[in-house]
Amino acid sequence: MNGRLVPPCGTYCGTCKFLNRKEKPNCSGCGNQKGEPFWGKCKLYACAKNRVEHCGLCEDFPCDLFVDQFDPAHGQKSVFTRGGLLAYRRRVGTQRFIEMSQRLVQEDERKKSGWSQF
């Protein structure tokens, strides 16, 4: 899995419907876009850059900037999901976080296809 799909905010870009789309809007992932996805400049990426690997490692976490930055399509409650994911990432490290994210994506794909191993 590409580490550039794991931005500092706790989102996993691999699940984004805009990732590598042919039509616009599209995005290649926060790390590849250097914190400037199709919707504009990400303040969380800019804040974390050169300071911490991800927001969960910041001494001010969760700050107002983190709590106020969310996708309107998912609502502000998604901030708390991202916070939990960052706590997990802080505890197990980014590599295990990436592996877990990949498993979740694969699980979602199996559910969408109607496949089940049980």
What percentage of residues in the chain have a pLDDT greater than 90? 42
Q: What is the mean pLDDT of residues 75-96?
A: 92
Q: In the prediction, which pLDDT does 16 show?
A: 83
Higher pLDDT, 90 or 5: 90
User: Is 65 in contact with 40 (CB distance < 8 Å)?
Assistant: no
Examine the pLDDT at 117 and tell me if it is beyond 60.
no
Residue 105's pLDDT is: 77
- Residue 115: in which H helix or E strand, if any? none
What pLDDT is recorded for position 107? 82
User: How confident is the model over 14-72, as pLDDT tens digits?
Assistant: 878 888 889 998 999 888 889 988 888 999 999 999 899 999 999 999 999 999 988 88
- Domain borders along the chain are 3-111
DSSP string, 12-75: -GGG-TTBT-SSSS-BS-HHHHTT--TT---HHHHHHTTT-SSGGGSTTPSPHHHHH---TTT-
Q: Across the chain, what does the average pLDDT equal?
A: 87
